[in-house]
């Protein structure tokens, strides 16, 4: 990847991060502890707890993704972006376009 490609991708990643932040912000509270409110029945409480679990899982995944994107931005600033973390080879631009947070090249990421 040359500097202009990285710059374009950086803007894309920053936009993705912004969107993710907004989503995380919007869903804040979804995972709030289900209170032992007696006004809702046992079944609806189970529903609520299940929804809470799903919201938590989704939030966890989004937070992980946010971390990966932030790390990608860091690597861009450090000039190490696009290098495979294992073999130090170059990760192709095509791969980074699809998965900007990729840390391994196709060969290293492939299941052995």
The residues of the shown chain that bind Zn ion, judged by CB under 5 A, are 84, 86-87, 89, 105, 108
β-sheet bridge partners, residue 90: 83
Q: How many C-beta atoms surround the C-beta of residue 106 within 10 A?
A: 13
Asked if 100 and 12 touch (Cβ cutoff 8 Å), the reply is: yes
- Min dist. Cβ of residue 82 to Zn ion (A): 11
- Min dist. Cβ of residue 100 to Zn ion (A): 17
* Of 62 and 83, CB closest to Zn ion: 83
Cα gap 79→63, rounded to integer Å: 24
* Of 34 and 108, CB closest to Zn ion: 108
- Min dist. Cβ of residue 80 to Zn ion (A): 13
Cα gap 48→53, rounded to integer Å: 9
* Of 28 and 90, CB closest to Zn ion: 90
């Amino acid at each position: 990847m040359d500097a202009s490609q990285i710059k374009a991708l950086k803007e894309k990643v920053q936009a993705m991060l912004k969107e993710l932040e907004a989503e995380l912000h919007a869903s804040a509270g979804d995972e709030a502890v289900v209170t032992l409110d007696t006004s809702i029945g046992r079944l609806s409480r189970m529903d609520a707890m299940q929804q809470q679990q799903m919201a938590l899982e989704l939030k966890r995944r989004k937070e992980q993704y946010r971390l990966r994107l932030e790390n990608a931005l860091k690597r861009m600033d450090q000039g190490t972006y696009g290098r495979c973390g294992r073999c130090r080879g170059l990760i192709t631009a095509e791969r980074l376009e699809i998965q900007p947070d990729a840390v391994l090249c196709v060969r290293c990421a492939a299941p052995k």
